[in-house]
Structure 1
Amino acid sequence: MVNLPAPTPAGFLAAAAPGTRVVVRYRIDGGFTDALGHLVMCDAGACTVRTRRADVVIPLREVVAAKEVPPAPEPRRRAAP
């Protein structure tokens, strides 16, 4: 059995299909932050993740981790009073 090396975070994003739900951790001034949402696109320089608030364009050189995540849970229903 041959163990293949895991793809780099940028390699994972480049290979992922648009529409895949992902979380991407990337560097910002003073630390790191995450973008959780659907991958819109990825090219040689950046990827775009559609979060609940906006599309986030992330330079691939700033990405430190990325993975596919399961679909968001269904919203909870309010209990009747």
Structure 2
Amino acid sequence: MTHVPSQPWRDWPLGVRVVVRRHLPEGGYSDVLGDLLASGPDGVTVRSRHGDVEVRAEDIAIGKIIPPRAPRVPRT
């Protein structure tokens, strides 16, 4: 029997805010935080403050939906 890894991101609705922890090629991890643009069996695309980031399924360590960003309060 072949083990099929869980892919919870496939159930996330597009447009929600997410954080995805990914494995880095040189070792260690990095988090991608932003709005979910695309998800599928190959991975996800997240729009972060630094641009669109594609994360391959095999690089995803963990991820979850998070609350929307809090509105900025102007300084007085």
TM-score by length of 1: 0.80
Instruction: Give the Cα–Cα distance (whole angstroms) in 1 for the partners of residues 19 and 10 of structure 2.
Output: 14
The answer to whether structure 1 residue 26 and structure 2 residue 22 are counterparts is yes
Q: Deviations over 1:25-77 (max 9, x none)?
A: 00012310000001111121121001011000001111111001001111121
- Aligned pairs for 1:39-50 within 5 A: 39-50=36-47
Gaps of 5+ in 1: 1-7
**When the two structures are aligned, how many residues end up with a matched partner?**
70
Gaps of 5+ in 2: 1-5
Instruction: Give the Cα–Cα distance (whole angstroms) in 2 for the partners of residues 50 and 33 of structure 1.
Output: 15
User: What's 2:9 paired with?
Assistant: 13
Q: Percent identity?
A: 31
TM-score by length of 2: 0.85
Q: Deviations over 1:4-24 (max 9, x none)?
A: xxxx4xx22111111011000
Larger Rg: 1
User: What's 1:67 paired with?
Assistant: 64
Which structure dedicates a bigger proportion of its chain to strand?
A: 2
Instruction: Give the Cα–Cα distance (whole angstroms) in 2 for the partners of residues 71 and 20 of structure 1.
Output: 8
